[in-house]
Amino acid sequence: MPRVVVLPGDGIGPEVCASAAEVLQKVAPDVELDYQLLGGGAYDQTGSPFPDATREAVMNCDAVLLGTVGGAQNSPWNALPRPLRPESGLLQLRKALGVYANLRPVKVMPGLESLSPLREDLARQVDVLIVRELLGGAYFDPRRAIEGDSAYNTIGYSKSEVDRVARVAFDAARTRKKEVTSVDKANVLEVSELWRGVVQNLRDTEYPDIKLEHEYVDSVAMLLVKTPGRYDVIVTENLFGDILSDLAAVIPGSLGVMPSASLGDGPGLYEPIHGSAPDIAGKGIANPTGTILSVAMLLRHSLNRDAEARRIEAAVQAALEEVRTPDLGGKGTTQELGAAVLKALGRADLG
């Protein structure tokens, strides 16, 4: 029996996870769910944002489904020493699982183009997969400190760290339009020069069938809004990928609809890309779409159940035609949208 560890986390995390877990149980009733703590709530209860019991559970499961972690800007959690903060719990979880490739697909569902702030003809063309490196760069580089009146962080990458994530991007491109754009800042940063060389070498030696372009991150930020249809797969380092994926998330209409899969050699980690949304937490109006679509990615990548993943994606699309949460301009609640997805899953024409 496959086992999925569910980490609802903080803020709207438990609200969106509840909907997503119902969807998972509906399409895969044989999956066993194991609920564990992560983030600020975990710190409050155990003194650690990534408790030992959670570490133990995630290292011995088939996949992990995560809500969100973190508090508001003025949360007491933000005054804790950095390793005890909610976000550190998430980073420790990613590190423990060894999930170095973060897949963040951006697509505008057919019929839902009007939700995009972009012109509908532009929105219709968007189908981008952002592959964000997740275990390197400034996030994990030990060369970091606050020293008196100054502070520094370091964006370090080894060739092998670049190579393994670039492979994920090239392999994904082979199942799509066979185009990869590697995003860097090679006009300024040495680390980007190394990144660019590794990616180009891999393309030339092992992926000659893939069209590879190199572009600068500042220009990509502009072009993702101006002509987003030009991209197929984007591969980039950790911090650039974090920023570009929130930017790209605006295209389908809301941060609330974007799912992600983080993959390595062990269990995969699946989470929406948005945060704990303290401004709406507890109101029952968070959009669960990103988490529900993360369940689809979980079924596809970790449990090898592509048919169920497609059913969920079709059901979400059908549900959004009827129910929309306030972030998408509607009046629907989390519960109502979740229920509409469950109802659509029951329809024969989607199965």
Q: Is 237 in the site for ligand IPM (CB under 6 A)?
A: no
Site mask for ligand NAD (CB under 6 A), range 216-255, x = bound: ---------------------------------------x
Q: Which does 276 bind (CB under 5 to 8 A by kind): Mn ion, ligand IPM, ligand NAD, none?
A: ligand NAD
- The DSSP string of 89-150 is HHHHHHHHHT--EEEEEEEPPTT-GGGSSS-HHHHHT-EEEEEEE-SSGGGT-S--EEETTE
* Closer residue to ligand NAD (CB): 45 or 227: 45
User: Within a 10 A sphere around the Cβ of 262, how many other Cβ atoms?
Assistant: 27
Burial class (CB in 10 A: 0-12, 13-18, 19+), 81: exposed
Q: Is 232 a catalytic residue?
A: no
275 appears as a binding residue in the annotation: yes
283 appears as a binding residue in the annotation: yes
- Rounded to whole angstroms, the Cα distance separating 188 from 193 reads 9
**SS3 of 209-243:** CCEEEEEEHHHHHHHHHHCHHHCCEEEECHHHHHH
* Closer residue to Mn ion (CB): 255 or 281: 255
Select the span of 47-55, 63-71, 194-202, 343-351 touching ligand NAD (CB under 6 A): 63-71
Q: Which of 22, 87, 133, 336 is the binder for ligand NAD (CB under 6 A)? A: 87
Q: Is 90 in the site for ligand IPM (CB under 6 A)?
A: yes
Q: Which does 327 bind (CB under 5 to 8 A by kind): ligand NAD, ligand IPM, Mn ion, none?
A: ligand NAD
Please, what is the minimum distance in Å from the beta carbon of residue 87 to ligand IPM?
Answer: 4
Q: Is 10 in the site for ligand IPM (CB under 6 A)?
A: no
In the complex, residue closest to ligand IPM by CB = 87
User: Within a 10 A sphere around the Cβ of 187, how many other Cβ atoms?
Assistant: 9
CA–CA distance from 339 to each of 8, 307, 318 (Å)? Answer: 19, 21, 12
Q: Which of 19, 48, 54, 68 is the binder for ligand NAD (CB under 6 A)? A: 68
Q: Is 242 in the site for Mn ion (CB under 5 A)?
A: yes
CA–CA distance from 310 to each of 175, 307, 342 (Å)? Answer: 16, 5, 14
Please, what is the minimum distance in Å from the beta carbon of residue 222 to ligand IPM?
Answer: 21
Residue/partner pairs of 338-342 with CB below 8 Å, 24 or more apart: 338/18, 338/19, 338/22, 338/23, 338/288, 338/292, 341/19, 341/23, 341/288, 341/292, 341/312, 341/315, 341/316, 342/22, 342/23, 342/26, 342/315
Q: Is 271 in the site for Mn ion (CB under 5 A)?
A: no
Task: Give the footprint of Mn ion on residues 94-133 (CB under 5 A).
Answer: none
Binding site for NAD(+), residues?
Answer: 275-287
Residues near ligand NAD (CB under 6 A) = 12, 16, 68-71, 87, 90, 255-256, 271, 274-280, 286-287, 290, 327
Q: Which residues are catalytic?
A: 139, 185, 218, 242, 246
Residues near ligand IPM (CB under 6 A) = 70, 87, 90-91, 242, 273
